[in-house]
Structures are given as C-alpha cells and as structure tokens.
Amino acid sequence: MMIWRFNEEEYNRQLWEKVREKCAGKARILSTDTDISPAQAARYLKNDSLGDLHADTRQLFLTYTGYKNFDVFRQAMDQEVLTASIAAPVEESAGTFLHSKYHINMPARPELFLGRGELLREIHDRLTDRRQRDNVLLLTSMGGMGKTTLLHEYLNRDLCRQHFKWIISVSVHRNLESAFVQGVADALQLDLSAVFAREKRLEMVIQAMQRQEGDNLVAIDNINEADYDELVSMYRHFRRTGWKILITTRTNPDGMEYIDVKELDLKDAMLLFLHYYVPDMTDREETSLFQYMKERQLRPDLEKLLYHIRCHTLFTELLAKTGYKTRATPQQLLEHLKAADLRHPALDRPVNTGAHPFHTSNSLSKATLHQYMLSIFDTDYLLAATTEESVAAENRQRVSMLQFFSVLPSVEIPINHLKTLWQVKEQQANDFEERLDILKQTGWIKSEYAGKQGLTYKMHHLIQEVVAEKLKPTMKNCAPLVKSLTEIMHDRRAMSDSEFTAYKKYLRAASRKLPELSISKK
C-alpha cells in the first residue's frame, strides 16, 4: 500500500493551486477549457478551494491540469516536495511549498534557479525594512536577464510566504492599471461589476487594500518599455495602498527604489549552459556538470563564449539549447556568433524557449535563437502612428538616437563625446540630456558616473543587435553621425591623444556596421 505524505484535503488544495496556475490569472474557468460546468467552476472559485468534491469532478480538474489520475498527481506532488527538501536541506528560506488562502495566483517555483542568494536576501530586506519609507521596489534590467525567475523564486521562499499575510501575483501584458485593479479585486473578492468609471474602480481597490491588516505584498511582473508612462502614473497610487509592491520591469523611472538584476556570474552561467547542453542521461548535479566540462576540456572555450555574450541569462540558456540540438561545441558557437551574430545559418534551429514566454505576452514557445531574442524587445511603440505631432517628433528623435547607439561600440561613452558626435548646440543640451535620460529610464541604455568623464552611456551589444534588426540604421539615417566622425578624423587639433583614440574606436565600430562607410581606412 502506498503511503502518501499528506491527507486528501491537502492534495485537493495543491490541485487547486495547479488549477489556478493553469488559469493563468483568469477570473474563471471557462466551459470551453474543460468539461466542468460553469456552475461547478463558479462554486469552487467562490470558495477558492476544491474542498469536498466528487471523484468524477476532481478527475476533470486533473485532466485539465495534465494528470492522468489522482494517484499520479499525488506521486508528482510528493516528489516535488521531496525534491525541494533534498535540494536545499540547510537553507531555512529555501521554500517548502507553504500554502495559504491569502496567497493568490502564486507562480510555480522555477525549474532551475542558480546562485543569486544574496540578491534574494536583499529583496526581502528591502521589502521588510521598517525604516524604508517607499513601499515600491523595482527589479530592473534589460530583457531576458532573469527578473521573472528571480521574482518567482522569491515568492516561493519561506522567508516571503511566512512574512506576508496577503501575497497577490499579477502579470501584465500591457495596461498596467487594468491588470492591477482586476488582479487585486479578484483576490480580495471585490465586486466591480457595478462600478464603471476607471478612476472609481481603482479607488475602490486601493481603499480595500488599506483596510487589510498586517504586512502584505503585490508582485507585478512584466512591465516593459511601452508601459513606462503608465508605471510613472500608477506610482502615486501604489504608494497609497499601504502594501509592498514588488515589480519586474525593463524600465527604471527616476525617484523609484530599485535593484539592478545583472548578468549571472561566470560560474552560474557555466552551470546554466551545461544544464541545457549536456546529453539527456547526464547527471545535472553541479559536480557532475563540472566533471563533464573537465573531461571534454570545454572550459576555456565556454568561458570565451560566455564572455562574448556577457553571461546574459536567457541568451545563455537558448544558446545552450541550440548547441545541444546541433551538437556544436562552445568554440563553434562562438565562431558562428562572431561571423554573423544571431543570424548565422548554423544557429537557425527552433528550440523550446522554456517558461519565459508563458509569463509574458510572447507567443513564441518554440523559436530560433534569432527570432526569440528579437521578440523580447519592443520597438513598436516608438514607430506607432499618432496624431500628436509633438509625440511623433519625439519618437523620431529617440529612434534616431537608438540607431546611432547601435552602430557605436558597446562601451561606456562620455556624455561630452556623445554631444560632439550628435553635434549638440548649447541651447539643445537640456533636451539632448533629457532624451538620454528617458532612454536610460526605459531600459535601452545604461549610465554610470565615471569620475572626471562625468556621466557615461552604454548600449548592451544584444540591444544593439535588436535595434540594428528592427530600426535598421543606414548611412542615410545615421548621416549626422557619419558627418561628425568624418570631420573629427580630418581635424584633431583640439583633441588630446586619448580623446582621438576613443573617436577612432567609435569610427571602427561604425564602419563595421555601416559597410558603406569607407573612411574607416583613413
């Protein structure tokens, strides 16, 4: 006789969590999704539990979530808990699948989570610090760096689930306000049907949140470049809720508290690559993966490959899957990237893109490396038609700036160099600097202070590839930049040797990306 870890009620509760995950935040289970009647679905949704239900109804829910029968489901849940306890036996915050009726639309724990333990602790400390007056915290980075994985891991950790009474998870696919209002209203069981005005629906939700006791959290995933203005607009409303608001975003609006989610360190990037690269039957424990790498003498070439792609999390995963499918070595993958970046024919193999598209509006669950990396960056909002000429003009300026950055090297460029390259006049300086700042806040470029050089700006080389593909810089639309470089190369009298060397580097990069630029030999 099989001895199960939990009683039947607990398994029903765990099954309900799977049903909620499968619903992906929908307000109801539709009759078109399953054979369960609308009345049955409404009853279980109202109680937020499967509770005491007939075996045939439970079987319909099991089928809906992909399990053959109840015993198979119980075995899967037992194995899930057992695996979690084995994976982290000494880490008190490692997550033991706590369940609460106040934890709504909780995401599944990531299949693979590497490193970043200090980052998880920093997130928790920032959210629970009583001295912190701002209740909104952003997890920010360029696309594909692992923000959603980090968020989901945190939400599944005991340190999060034990601290917060309410935890409401919301995923945004455009229209932040609507997703926030509907997600919180569903969780708090607010009836919005009689409230039609957008402002009143938002106010009703905020007041309901203010009435809740204890420490509470709303986690909002997937706010991207096109949502920047709405995030800035919603910030003051988030501040009024009294709840902690944790947001993953590619944007970084001024004045908001944030944690920068950076590339994986080299060790974790190697483990991530090897996890998806080694043959199916290979043990994926850390020591086994490194032993595999050592036996096949992969380390030097793998380090070079990961350095080339800057240990970008999603890029590392998809490149490993492509390498596994084509059986290309890390050295061959690097050669392909150097020869033609993501467009190399040898990399043109569809791979499973994993959990990433499920948590975004992206529909490409299977795509080539090139297709998918392009799809995670949004340029449509910059090119969208508008009747407001001021908006259209500003978008044209931003597109032009992105095109210029895409043909310059992916290095920190001092702002004075940028002004020279853009031929910015004194009366234009404020507008130019503000435009740079907006591109930084919307996630297209990064900026740092570099001592005497002041502010420097840099576009990640992966974003350069996206801009080159989507916004298509040419000699014509980059003519002002080409003119500046030409003049600088012909008249260097006012420049120091170090400055002239920097401008030569800009020229070399531009001449590689704009083949018609023949002055590269001068």
**Of 225-229, 248-252, 317-321, where does mean pLDDT reach its minimum?**
225-229
* Residue owning tokens 């923000």: 147
Top-tier CATH class for 95-261 = alpha beta
pLDDT surpassing 70 at residue 35: no
Q: What is the mean pLDDT of residues 472-490?
A: 88
User: Nearest 10 degrees: CA dihedral of 85, 90, 93, 94?
Assistant: -30
List the chain domain ranges.
1-87, 95-261, 266-375, 387-521
In eight-state DSSP terms, residue 158 is H
Instruction: For 141-172, write each residue's pLDDT tens digit.
Output: 888 888 999 999 999 998 899 899 999 999 88
Compare 9 and 234 and report the one with higher pLDDT: 234
CA distance 86 to 75: 16
What is the C-alpha to C-alpha distance for residues 522 and 500, in angstroms, rounded to an integer? 13
Look up tokens 């234009």; give the residue: 428
Between CA 349 and CA 320 the distance in angstroms is 12
Whole-angstrom distance, CA of residue 488 vs CA of residue 377: 33
H or E segment and range at residue 244: strand 244-249
Distance of alpha carbon 225 from alpha carbon 509, whole angstroms: 27
Q: How confident is the model at residue 384 (pLDDT cuts 50, 70, 90)?
A: confident
CA distances from 350 to 184, 276, 281, 347, 364 (A): 37, 14, 22, 9, 10
Query: Could you check whether 95-261 and 387-521 share the same CATH topology?
Result: no
Question: Are the CB atoms for 385 and 364 separated by under 8 Å?
Answer: no
Q: What angle do CA 470, 472, 478 make, to 5 degrees?
A: 140
Tokens of 355: 């959990």
Would you say residue 20 has pLDDT above 90?
no
Report the residue count for the chain. Answer: 522
Which are the contacts of 412, defined by CB distance < 8 A and separation ≥ 6?
448, 450, 456, 457, 458
Largest CA distance in the chain: 89
- Spatial CA neighbour of 443 closest among 398, 408, 474, 383: 398
The domain defined by 387-521 folds into Arc Repressor Mutant, subunit A (1.10.10)
Residues linked to residue 218 through DSSP beta bridges, in sequence order: 168, 245
Average per-residue pLDDT in the chain? 83
pLDDT in tens, 354-367: 666 666 666 666 77
> What pLDDT, in 10s, does the model give residues 102-138?
898 888 888 888 888 889 999 999 999 888 889 999 9
Q: What pLDDT sits at residue 258?
A: 93
26 Cβ neighbours under 8 A, 6+ residues apart: none
- Residue 46: the pLDDT is 55
77 or 423: which leads in pLDDT: 423
For residue 3, what pLDDT band results from cuts at 50, 70 and 90?
low
pLDDT digits (tens, 9 = 90+) for 157-212: 988 998 999 999 998 877 899 999 999 999 999 988 888 899 999 999 999 999 99
What's the mean pLDDT in 77-85? Answer: 60
Exposed/middle/buried for 313, CB within 10 Å: 0-12, 13-18, 19+? buried
52-56, 100-104, 283-287, 478-482: segment of lowest average pLDDT = 52-56
Residue 515 has pLDDT above 80, yes or no: no
User: Please, are residues 288 and 152 in contact by the beta-carbon 8 Å criterion?
Assistant: no
Spatial neighbors of 342 by CB under 8 A, at least 6 apart, are 369, 370, 373, 374, 465
SS3 track for 476-497: CCCHHHHHHHHHHHHCCCCCCH
Q: What is the pLDDT of residue 370?
A: 80
The stretch 220-227 carries a mean pLDDT of: 87
Query: What is the DSSP secondary-structure string of 377-417?
Result: S--HHHH---S-HHHHHHHHHHHHHHHHHHHS-SS-EEHHH
Burial of 339 (0-12, 13-18, 19+ CB in 10 A): exposed
What pairing do the DSSP bridges indicate for beta strands 446-449 and 413-414? unpaired
pLDDT band at 90 (very low <50, low <70, confident <90, very high): very low
Q: What letter represents residue 321's amino acid?
A: K
Judged against a pLDDT cut of 50, whether residue 521 lies above it is answered with no
CA distance 377 to 384: 15
Alpha-carbon distances of 239 from 56, 170, 207, 463, rounded to whole Å: 46, 17, 12, 32
Percent of the residues in the chain that have a pLDDT greater than 90, as a whole number = 35
Measured CA to CA, the distance from residue 379 to residue 383 in angstroms comes to 7
Q: Are 374 and 466 in contact (CB under 8 A)?
A: yes
What's the rounded Cα separation, in Å, for the pair 67 and 396?
52
Question: Distance between CA 14 and CA 94 in Å, rounded?
Answer: 19
Three-state DSSP state, 167:
strand
Distances (CA, A) of 95 to 83, 169, 215, 253: 11, 17, 19, 32
pLDDT digit string, tens, across residues 433-476:
999 999 888 888 888 887 777 889 999 888 888 898 889 999 88
Segment holding 504, helix H or strand E = helix 497-513
